[in-house]
Amino acid sequence: MMPRPVRAKGRKGREPAKPKGTGSLRVGLAADHGGFALKEKLAAGLKKAGHRVKDFGAYQETRGDDYPDYVVPMAVAVAGGKLDRGIAVCGSGVGACIAANKVPGVRAALVVDVFSAHQGVEDDDMNVICLGGRVVGYELARDLIDAFLSARFAGGRRFRRRLEKIAELEAQ
């Protein structure tokens, strides 16, 4: 049985947070030990670019820590509209992506190319980008995040229809 379409809304019936113009964004960062070094470099670059950065940890490189402990609180803040976008980093990016997508209202993807970084936002309203700290270097990560943060959801009928189907699944 196919779920009936509903209006795509974030948690508590609010529209998902949208970046405001081309200015500064509220960006959340989260990483475990596998993404810690990359997260630290990204945080400095984002602040220098004028974004308001909320760091959800890890705050030191502790081998054996668990990515859900950092990624899930960041994802909850994105879904709740407290942040415009989120960046989650673990060793491969896969675990961080799985954890983030467990939070209703989050649309996270593991991204390794610039096209997917902006297309995921434009077509799918992606609000969390996931990166592998042991997979992408800082320069590529910076390019991916620039594309992700500068992209805007196109909002076309077919894109909204797809998001409505996802929202219905989350509501079940």
Please identify every residue annotated as catalytic. 90
d(CA 90, CA 88): 7
HSE (side-chain half, CA atoms, 13 Å) at 151:
26
Torsion of CA 33, 35, 39, 41, to 10 degrees: 100
